[in-house]
């Protein structure tokens, strides 16, 4: 507690808020639907990134929509689950996926 407070007052990054490590292996599941332009921004990049990303369609699959709501409290897509932890916002998702793909390439994976 005191350690977190000390970090908050300093410029040091807080490891609890740092987000997922792009260099680590991850299980990736993207909640999306085809007519969503923000989803398309992410979907269009996927083939070039060469990552294994499981897709779940929240318009066609009721269970996917229910799972998304249970995890995030809403229906906003795209939502990337990284090892079960949801990440919203297409710009953040793309930044993470780009960094993850680059780290994998650098590691020869």
Exposed, middle or buried: residue 79 (CB in 10 Å: 0-12, 13-18, 19+)? buried
Cβ neighbours around 65 below 10 Å, total: 18
Residue 72 found at the interface with ligand GSH (CB under 6 A):
no
Positions 32 through 51 that interact with ligand GSH (CB under 6 A): 36-38
Does position 90 interact with ligand GSH (CB under 6 A)? The reply is yes
Q: How far lies 101's CA from each of 12, 13, 62, 106, in Å?
A: 26, 23, 30, 9
Per CB under 6 A, the segment of 4-12, 15-23, 68-76, 94-102 that binds ligand GSH is 68-76
Number of residues engaging ligand GSH in binding (CB under 6 A): 10
Q: Pull the structure tokens for residue 98.
A: 């780009």
Find the shortest distance in angstroms from Cβ 35 to ligand GSH.
8
Q: Please pick, from the candidates 30, 77, 94, 101, the single residue that binds ligand GSH as defined by CB under 6 A.
A: 77
Q: Strands 85-88 and 28-32: what pairing?
A: unpaired
Question: What 3-state class would DSSP assign to 68?
Answer: helix
* Nearest approach, Cβ of residue 27 and ligand GSH (Å): 21
- Distance CA(106)–CA(34), nearest Å, equals 31
Contact region for ligand GSH (CB under 6 A) — 1-9, 19-27, 47-55, 70-78?
Answer: 70-78
Q: Which residues bind ligand GSH (CB under 6 A)?
A: 36-38, 74-78, 89-90
């Amino acid at each position: 507690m005191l350690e977190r407070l000390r970090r908050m007052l300093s410029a040091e990054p807080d490891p609890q808020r740092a987000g997922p490590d792009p260099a680590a292996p991850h299980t990736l599941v993207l909640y999306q639907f085809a007519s969503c332009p923000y989803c398309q921004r992410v979907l269009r990049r996927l083939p070039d990134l060469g990552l294994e990303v499981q897709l779940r369609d929240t318009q066609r699959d009721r269970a996917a929509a229910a799972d998304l709501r249970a995890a995030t409290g809403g229906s906003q897509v795209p939502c990337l689950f990284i090892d079960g932890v949801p990440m919203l916002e297409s710009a953040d998702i793309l930044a993470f996926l780009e960094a993850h793909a680059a780290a994998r390439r650098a590691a020869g994976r």
